Amino acid sequence: MKNLSKIIFSLISLCWAMPALAVDSYRYMHVNIETPWAIFVFLFGLVFAPMILAVVLYWHYAMKKDTEEDDNDRS
């Protein structure tokens, strides 16, 4: 019953949608010369964030391993 009400609501919403607004979507989205740069910076962060995290974790555990070896040498 719950899914049926969602389907009915979706169909009613689609009937009220104005397809003419899709024609003007380019102007609606305010695309300008800075948009490709914003997309580039966003994707640059998505690509390099895991790499930076991997470097930081590698460095952290490498330092931790060195301190453990120093502790074993002192014993």
Residues 22-50 have pLDDT tens digits of 655 566 667 677 888 888 999 999 999 99
What is the Cα–Cα distance from 61 to 55, expressed in whole angstroms? 10
**Cβ atoms of residues 8 and 1 within 8 Å:** no
**pTM for this predicted structure:** 0.44
pLDDT band at 65 (very low <50, low <70, confident <90, very high): confident
What is the Cα–Cα distance from 40 to 30, expressed in whole angstroms? 17
Contacts of 28 (CB under 8 A, 6+ apart): 21
26 to each of 30, 34, 37, 40, how far by Cα in Å? Answer: 7, 14, 17, 19
One-letter amino acid identity for 48? F
